[in-house]
Amino acid sequence: MGSSGLCWVGRSQKKRGKGMERVTISLDDGLLEAFDAYIGRKGYANRSEAIRDLLRAKLDADNVAENRATHAVGCLSYVFDHHQRELVRRLTHTQHDHHELLLSTLHVHLDHDNCLEVTLLRGPTGGVRALAETIMAETGVRHGNLHLVTIEPSAADHSAHAHAHTHDETA
């Protein structure tokens, strides 16, 4: 086989009650060797587990890229200069304005000038992405990165814990 792609050769019957279906694929020797090396480096127990994880990651990334993911959890990490005028106040204000998306923030002092924040977010994908982009666009914020993972809306819905509130814009 000269192709380095996957070829779906056949499908077996689903085992009753197992929720999985066996599929057969063909891989050229070079791709299979590289895949087995990957499995060894990552510590997978078998090829099936590795293929499932790779497929989930690719499909998840595709859903996020194509804006099909309605809800997500995100890990926003960024380094910022805490001496930047008013930056800490602006970041805190932005986080409070979007508290419904924030789960937790870790703040680390890297050196005399720089801090690292890692903020965990959860909610509608567009809102999570917009908040992350707002924070990363602040003057003085550098090295920002957002990692999104899609979730089912029911996992993102914490309306049962919602409470009425207002934002005091006079502060």
Question: For the chain, first and last CA: distance in Å?
Answer: 68
Q: What angle do CA 115, 121, 124 make, to 5 degrees?
A: 145
Of 54, 55, 113, the C-alpha closest to 80 is 113
Q: What's residue 82's pLDDT?
A: 87
């497929």: which residue's tokens?
Answer: 55
Q: What's residue 152's pLDDT?
A: 81
């001496």: which residue's tokens?
Answer: 83
| Single-letter code of the amino acid located at 103 | L
pLDDT tens per residue across all 171 residues of the chain: 444 444 444 444 444 556 888 888 899 999 999 999 999 999 999 999 999 989 988 888 887 777 777 898 999 999 999 898 899 999 999 999 999 999 999 999 999 999 999 999 999 999 999 999 999 999 999 999 999 988 887 655 554 344 444 555 554
Helix (H) or strand (E) holding 136: helix 125-136
Scored b (16 or more CB within 10 A) or e, 67-81 reads: eebebbbbebbbbbe
pTM: 0.65
Q: What's residue 147's pLDDT?
A: 92
Q: What's residue 124's pLDDT?
A: 92
For 23-70, strand residue ranges (E) read 23-26
């200069």: which residue's tokens?
Answer: 81
Q: What's residue 81's pLDDT?
A: 93
Q: What's residue 87's pLDDT?
A: 94
